Chains A and B, each alone.
Chain A
Amino acid sequence: MELLCPAGNLPALKTAIDCGADAVYIGFKDDTNARHFAGLNFTGKKLEKAVQYVHDNSKHIHVALNTFAHPDGFNRWTKAVDNAAAMGIDALIISDIGVLEYAANTYPELELHLSVQASATNVAAIDFYKKNFNIKRVVLPRVLSIHQVKQLSRNLTSNVDLEVFAFGSLCIMSEGRCYLSSYMTGESPNTVGACSPAKYVRWQETENGLESRLNDILIDRYGEGENAGYPTLCKGRFEVQGKTFHALEEPTSLNTLSLVPELFAANVASVKIEGRQRSPAYVEQVTRTWRAAIDRYKADPDSYSVEPKWDATLANVSEGTQTTLGAYHKKWQ
């Protein structure tokens, strides 16, 4: 089982490789990827260095082209495919059907992974992408229970590897099918490559407490002593039928360390760590912890258990310093 770690810049990438990642994933410095944030991502010399560093260490590098191609700029996406292919990267992660078709036809030897943003949750959907574009791997949206992941793995009709999210900020919607961000701001992961974009965020001390707003809409209000989090719009406190609570979800991160044996049993090919927007320090903590967990399981599957210090380390770098099993656990749903 591959440990796949995020890298938003060169220091994070080197850290991931040095701390035990089997592979890293990156994005280009434009809106072809869904972590299109200022100061992040790769271009030019840094990109060359990134590929070089990963390959010098005999690891893999994946490039995410996981936004949907604009009709008035389609060639930005095809150029990104050309660029990635020319760099000799190991796999391209793509969500857009038009871009997949271009990549499959132009570079039949290039390994294609279906991005989580394509939202393929069942065998028939995976068949569509396998038959049309010969994808090698599918990244599963965070909507399946662990039982459903196993079931899907057993029922696959084509030779496709499964990659699942193992740790990181929890997207609670079926990825690629959430327009909440563009509803509030005009910009969504699919069109612009960002959810709840920072430029729309405003903090304000008021007599009601500290308020966080997204495009002027009140997302949350914090009392004294409460930890204030980034106003991701699905993690605010809202009023529903007279009660004010986290109507959709609390600020929390996904952590599946306890599911490692089941992920092996489901024949999962790769576990993905979320967080290309996070610091090298985050990448270090999470990569080391997950490396240790996977190695521990491999050395002695029967006695695997999660060490308290692993959980503590991960909780420290989590949203709201709490973690959840998310949809893998039926009760969360």
Chain B
Amino acid sequence: MKYALGPLLYFWSKENIESFYQKAINSETDIIYLGESVCSKRREMRPKDWFSIAKEISDSGKQVVLSTMALLEAPSEVNVMKKYIDNGDFIIEANDVSAIQLASESKIPFVVGPAINCYNAQTLNLFLKQGMTRWCMPVELSREWLQNVLMQCDDLGIKGKFETEVFSYGYLPLAYSARCFTARAENKPKDECETCCIKYPNGITVNSQEGQEVFTLNGIQTQSGYCYNLINDLPSMNELVDVVRLSPLSVETFSEVSKFKANETGTEKFALKDARHCNGYWHNIAGLDIKI
């Protein structure tokens, strides 16, 4: 099993991002996804800043993947994405079909990220022909769904021709909108948002009127209210999953990686409920539920 650090979904200062990835170099992760995938107004890091971190991490022996945006509305956003795709050194993670189109035109291999609607092997087969090397399935899919897709892949003769990855830890990216919900919570229009999301390093919790955490606001992205955590489910990933993705929350995420690695055989049962964590999607039930 390999471990990946997903792209940072929140907006942190340049200093905090750089110091975080310095520590990532010494973490137990094998793959590191880098780049802004949520909002083009977050400009603490320029492409050259990401490339420089990418180079340093890559020199340390880890695989680097440059993640691209999920929702691209303006031509300028697509142009910035092209810069990442044509960086010359690193493969990319496509989170929109536009990235697949541009990467395949440039003959750049790509990872199909969780924001791409890929629900069956027929779709994977087409992506494979265009340069896909790995597939991180949509977060709402279950073990059973994955198993069925891989059975279909067997029938199509494409099993083993790409790696499979599962989003396994962190707040789930559940939706993207034109609206910035963080700005709305601060009663600011999006055009004058002052990138206020920088004040919320893990987003803003939305509670029901009974105090249940239902969502997390992260700019134009809506995330799960509970932290997704498949640490107890690693044995059930055998033969199905090549890469386990942890989504960065803070430097603490590196110790989560170590905990995951130590629990591959499932010897320890972590109490998800007490920690306000969930694992429902993997078990084919509501995402926020827990299957022990």
Contact = CB atoms under 8 A, between A and B. Distances in A.
Interface of A: 68-72, 74, 95-99, 101-102, 117-125, 127-129, 131-132, 142-145, 148, 151, 155, 172-174, 176-180, 182-186, 188, 190-191, 215, 217-221, 234, 236-241, 244, 247-249, 327, 330-333
Given A101-B126, A178-B175, A182-B281, A95 B209 contact: no
Interface string B201-221: 000111111111011010000
From DSSP, what is the main secondary structure of chain A's interface residues?
A: mixed
B270 interface: no
B159 interface: no
B178 A128 contact: no
A199 B7 CA distance: 36
A142 B205 CA distance: 25
Given A179-B175, A331-B189, A98 B120 contact: yes
Residue of A98, A120, A129 with highest tally of chain B CB at under 10 A: A98
B172 interface: yes
B118 A97 contact: yes
B174 A124 contact: no
A256 to B, nearest CB: 15
Contact of A122 (B72, B120, B140, B185): B72
Contacts of A123: 75, 78, 98
Interface string B175-199: 1111111001100011100000000
Given A143-B178, A218-B209, A96 B71 contact: no
A241 B97 CA distance: 36
B207 A148 contact: no
Given A218-B209, A333-B179, A151 B75 contact: yes
Given A70-B148, A96-B119, A174-B71, A327 B78 contact: no
Nearest to B119: A68
B215 A238 contact: yes
Interface in B36-94: 70-75, 77-78
B117 interface: yes
B1 interface: no
Given A101-B126, A124-B101, A218-B208, A95 B117 contact: yes
Nearest to B223: A183
Given A128-B100, A221-B209, A183 B123 contact: no
B174 A178 contact: yes
B209 A244 contact: yes
Contacts of A217: 208, 212, 214, 288
A219 B96 CA distance: 31
B194 to A, nearest CB: 15
A129 B122 contact: no
Given A74-B120, A121-B71, A238 B175 contact: no
A71 B176 contact: no
Given A177-B70, A179-B287, A247-B185, A333 B122 contact: no
B109 interface: no
A183 B181 contact: no
Nearest to A154: B75
B286 A215 contact: yes
Per CB-CB distance, the 7 closest pairs between chain A and chain B, nearest first, are A98-B122, A124-B98, A183-B287, A327-B178, A68-B119, A71-B148, A143-B178
B129 to A, nearest CB: 10
Given A123-B75, A143-B177, A247-B215, A71 B206 contact: no
B175 A68 contact: no
16 contacts: A99-B122, A121-B96, A124-B72, A124-B102, A132-B126, A148-B74, A177-B70, A178-B176, A186-B286, A186-B289, A190-B138, A191-B119, A237-B209, A238-B215, A240-B205, A247-B217
A262 B149 CA distance: 44
Contacts of B286: 182-186, 215
Nearest to B149: A71
Contacts of B184: 247
A71 B158 CA distance: 14
